[in-house]
Structure 1
Amino acid sequence: MLKQLALALAGTVCFALTPASAQTKTVTLWHPFTLETDMIYGGIKSFNESQSEYKIDARIVPGPQIATELIKAIATGSVPDLVTLDNPVVASFSAQGTLTDLTDLVSKSTYIKPNVYFEGPWASGLWKSKIYAVPRDANTLALCYNADMFKAKGLDPNNPPKTWSELSAAAEKLKDPAKNVYGFGFSAVQGEEGVFQWLPFLHQAGGSVSKLNTPEAAEALKFWADMVKNGTASKDVINQRQYEVTNTFMAGNSAMVLCGPWELPRLQTDAKFDWKLALLPVKDGKNIKASALGGYDWVVPKGAQQVNGAFKFIEFMSNPKILNEGWATGRLAPRNDVVVQNPLWPQAYSIYREQLQSARARGPHPQWPDISKAIQTAMQEALTGTKPADQALAEAAKKIEPILAKTPL
């Protein structure tokens, strides 16, 4: 009996010391994705089961906190091996030299080829011609509208607004103060979400972040401010985050809203009416197609213990077969060679994928948070009527000028 127990223990010890398990290295990962249907969960499971050299050990960090947590980790010299960062903040880390240069690893990669990525997502990971991030997913904005309300007001739900003037006219017709229904909804909150939603209008007007003191920029902000002033949009837009704007849409209090694809799962389950998607209306006479780029990038902090293991996982998650799974939670593939066959919400998929082609990255710039803050202030001032749009933007331009003089966009 004792002999058999000793043999069993010996066998256990031998198993514990087998070369495969002894060499397994842990790759620590930070990400914010809480939906179990997100592709990262299946990806981690498949990666860990497909090989024994590396094992992914993931920690969920809320999206708004990841950058702050990473700054603390860098300061203490205890960084994770891999992080998913919101793409507009990547440049601030790259410029400070706190991320690993992935250029050489990308050049040898099987799946990661710069030419197969959409321009906007790929640009978000570049700094001074070096690659510091690889896009994980992408999102953008489109016009979401209540088709039932269109019909009730005599509008054709199969012919949504295609220009600003058509958007304004439709919103005016759709608003119904007696029923607390606004024609158009958007997020102008004093935060990055507000800037994200307004930038498409700036670019469609022919304006740019580097030239906010121009008639084009003023016209774009005035377009929003006028909607709030005449009651086409709610005064509450200055306090509403994107998910709250979608809430007003699902509650029947907004007939049209700016909406991202991440909202599709709950629109499907919670919206009790016929809803549709359309490309963002363009500025009359300009016809400039533009939208804002959102999404997360993979980055490897400098000082990571398992750089090769982290990059192997990035490669694994960049396989088109994995990226195909992203759309289940409204995550678009950042690559032009990934086309989901028989997608959920086919009409929405077609719209968002087309809109992604004109989605512009915010920056990239190491001081994007400071640039964004100046724009946020101007938006709040114009939409509350504190200052005219042109004055508010001229003051924002003065704050941004020294930043861009040091490091141009």
Structure 2
Amino acid sequence: MILPAPRPTRRPAAGLAAVMALVALATGCGAGTGSSEDPGTITVLDYYTDRTEHAQWDEMLSACGRRAGVRVEQTSVPPASLVPKVLQQASARTLPDLLMLDNADLQQIARTGALTPLERYGIDTAGFSEPILSAGTYRGEVYGLAPYVSTVALFYNEDMLAEAGVAVPRTWDELKDAAARLTRPGRHGMAVDASATFESSWQFLPFLWSNGGDERHLDSPQAAQALRLWADLVTSGSMAKSVLNWTQADVHDQFAAGRTAMMINGPWRIPALNEDPSLHWAVAPVPVPQAGATPVTPLGGEVWTVPQNPSAARQEKAAQVLACLTEPSNMLTLARQHVTVPSRPQTAAQYAEQNPSTAVFVQGVENARTRTGQLGVGWPKAATGIYTAIQSVLSGQQTPEEALRHAQRTATGD
């Protein structure tokens, strides 16, 4: 669905009504995984299935568990399986003691009553920026905290731009001009993820939001202008029509192979790019409609939550582990391991100073928005409308205006 470490576009596989019904069973009477008052072991569920990533998280969770005086049993499932697994566990009354969720899924799960407010455990939420706190908030209560976050920016091949005499584009007009001048046989100037997935919607949001559009009014002129930019890049040949089938990983592969000079992607791609010493790349903010404007990008990353279960002792221990994960020193460790952005601004600034290639992402997070900020639990419908419109327009089936009118109907359920 979305990417190796920060995975910003996870979506639930079941409807909200099913979620609520199943979680109602879980939070009612009966025993489950957390029913024992002996807090010697707590269970954790996440979607970190990559071997290295799983091992890194296991080490951090175990260390925080030792501080809390418990053993941590970590289970990782494939990203697309996480929410269905949560529903299954809710139905069987076996919710884990500590649960990781993509931040865009939190509101739907919190709405069911499956999660506990973190204030109950005295967890300190000071020092987090408002957008990052809002990613874990439902109806004024903080239910989840993120040790790190992410967003997207413009990667570019320094050698290709220098050879073509092209400056790093800062505006949409400059992006179109640069992409055209960088395009030649066997290479396109620009690449995005335009697949029929939430990844595509995630990548489109900086263009929508920075142009003054928003997900509540997908049929607005501002939204159409943003989508027309992508369409113009494809129509001119500056961007391959194949982007309709490219995931963010595919876009990365095209860039790393020299088949595109620029791409939209996230910081989690940096380790792989660094594996090739002959590849000279850099990062810039996502171009904006007019010079001087500030790009508005989406906030990605995962939040950690304490589900409802019958054992107050286990919940307390899980909350202690969660608090440990979000300590500044541990944030730095996790950010270095996964090449993301620490969630506390002061810690993020320290991280950017130590890792200059991440500075653009740290800056982007300062102005980033959560995907559920406007629509809450309605975000998945809007995201579906967005990527469907992208597919329709870039394949030449509809104009941006036509496709986005349909997207608006999808988002509103009309």
TM-score for the superposition, normalised by structure 2:
0.85
Alpha-carbon distance change, 342 to 383 in structure 1, aligned in 2, over 3 angstroms = closer
How many Å separate the matches in 2 of 1:204 and 1:90?
25
Residues 134-179 of structure 1, C-alpha deviations (whole Å, 9 max, x = no match): 12320100110000101111224xxx11111111111110011x2x
Q: Does 1:140 align with 2:151?
A: yes
**Pick aligned residue for 1:330 from 339, 347, 352:** 339
State the match for 2:366 in structure 1: 357
Alpha-carbon distance change, 48 to 249 in structure 1, aligned in 2, over 3 angstroms = same
Alpha-carbon distance change, 182 to 384 in structure 1, aligned in 2, over 3 angstroms = same
Alignment: residue pair count = 371
Alpha-carbon distance change, 286 to 47 in structure 1, aligned in 2, over 3 angstroms = closer
Q: Secondary structure at the match of 1:337?
A: helix
How many Å separate the matches in 1 of 2:151 and 2:74?
27
How many Å separate the matches in 1 of 2:292 and 2:387?
25
In the TM superposition, what is the alpha-carbon distance from 1:50 to its structure 2 partner? 3.1
In the TM superposition, what is the alpha-carbon distance from 1:44 to its structure 2 partner? 2.0
Q: Does 1:167 align with 2:179?
A: no
In the TM superposition, what is the alpha-carbon distance from 1:270 to its structure 2 partner? 3.5
How many Å separate the matches in 1 of 2:97 and 2:310?
5
State the match for 2:326 in structure 1: 318
Query: Are the equivalent residues in 2 in contact too, given 1:362–1:368 (CA < 8 A)?
Result: yes
Q: Does 1:290 align with 2:307?
A: no
Alignment of 1:72-91 (within 5 A): 72-91=88-107
State the match for 1:210 in structure 2: 216
State the match for 1:113 in structure 2: 125
Alignment of 1:302-313 (within 5 A): 302-303=308-309, 305=311, 306-313=314-321
In the TM superposition, what is the alpha-carbon distance from 1:327 to its structure 2 partner? 2.5
Residues 41-97 of structure 1, C-alpha deviations (whole Å, 9 max, x = no match): 332232243353x22111111222211211221122211111111111111111222
How many Å separate the matches in 2 of 1:90 and 1:273?
38
**Pick aligned residue for 1:58 from 38, 60, 74:** 74
State the match for 2:393 in structure 1: 382
How many Å separate the matches in 1 of 2:310 and 2:288?
45
In the TM superposition, what is the alpha-carbon distance from 1:294 to its structure 2 partner? 0.7
How many Å separate the matches in 2 of 1:280 and 1:317?
30
In the TM superposition, what is the alpha-carbon distance from 1:104 to its structure 2 partner? 2.6
State the match for 1:103 in structure 2: 119
How many Å separate the matches in 2 of 1:395 and 1:40?
42
Q: Secondary structure at the match of 1:338?
A: helix
State the match for 1:131 in structure 2: 142
In the TM superposition, what is the alpha-carbon distance from 1:341 to its structure 2 partner? 4.6
- Which one-letter code corresponds to 1:207 in the other structure? G
How many Å separate the matches in 1 of 2:384 and 2:310?
31
Q: Secondary structure at the match of 2:275?
A: helix
Alpha-carbon distance change, 342 to 380 in structure 1, aligned in 2, over 3 angstroms = closer
> Which has more radius of gyration?
1
Q: Secondary structure at the match of 2:73?
A: strand
Percent identity over the alignment? 26
Alpha-carbon distance change, 103 to 50 in structure 1, aligned in 2, over 3 angstroms = closer
CA RMSD across the alignment:
2.1
Residues 371-405 of structure 1, C-alpha deviations (whole Å, 9 max, x = no match): 211212111111111100011101111222358xx
Query: Are the equivalent residues in 1 in contact too, given 2:171–2:289 (CA < 8 A)?
Result: yes
State the match for 2:14 in structure 1: none
Alignment of 1:37-56 (within 5 A): 40-52=57-69, 54-56=70-72
Query: Are the equivalent residues in 2 in contact too, given 1:80–1:304 (CA < 8 A)?
Result: no
Query: Are the equivalent residues in 1 in contact too, given 2:171–2:291 (CA < 8 A)?
Result: no
Query: Are the equivalent residues in 2 in contact too, given 1:206–1:288 (CA < 8 A)?
Result: no
- Which one-letter code corresponds to 2:328 in the other structure? P
TM-score for the superposition, normalised by structure 1:
0.86
**Pick aligned residue for 2:85 from 51, 69, 80:** 69
How many Å separate the matches in 2 of 1:248 and 1:315?
39
State the match for 2:201 in structure 1: 195
Alpha-carbon distance change, 286 to 346 in structure 1, aligned in 2, over 3 angstroms = closer
- Which one-letter code corresponds to 1:366 in the other structure? V
State the match for 1:12 in structure 2: none
How many Å separate the matches in 2 of 1:264 and 1:304?
43
Q: Secondary structure at the match of 2:154?
A: strand
How many Å separate the matches in 2 of 1:202 and 1:101?
33
State the match for 2:305 in structure 1: 299
Q: Does 1:260 align with 2:227?
A: no
**Pick aligned residue for 1:31 from 34, 46, 50:** 46
Q: Does 1:186 align with 2:192?
A: yes
How many Å separate the matches in 2 of 1:335 and 1:162?
28
State the match for 1:14 in structure 2: none
Q: Secondary structure at the match of 1:211?
A: coil
How many Å separate the matches in 1 of 2:220 and 2:349?
41
Of the structure 1 ranges 354-363 and 57-66, higher mean CA displacement relative to structure 2 is found in: 57-66
For structure 1, the residue ranges without an aligned partner over 5 or more in a row are: 1-21, 404-409
Query: Are the equivalent residues in 2 in contact too, given 1:324–1:340 (CA < 8 A)?
Result: no
Alpha-carbon distance change, 359 to 204 in structure 1, aligned in 2, over 3 angstroms = same
Residues 81-122 of structure 1, C-alpha deviations (whole Å, 9 max, x = no match): 1111111111111122222222332xx23xx324x2122221
Alpha-carbon distance change, 271 to 224 in structure 1, aligned in 2, over 3 angstroms = farther
Alignment of 1:201-280 (within 5 A): 201-270=207-276, 272-280=278-286
In the TM superposition, what is the alpha-carbon distance from 1:345 to its structure 2 partner? 7.8
Query: Are the equivalent residues in 1 in contact too, given 2:157–2:279 (CA < 8 A)?
Result: yes
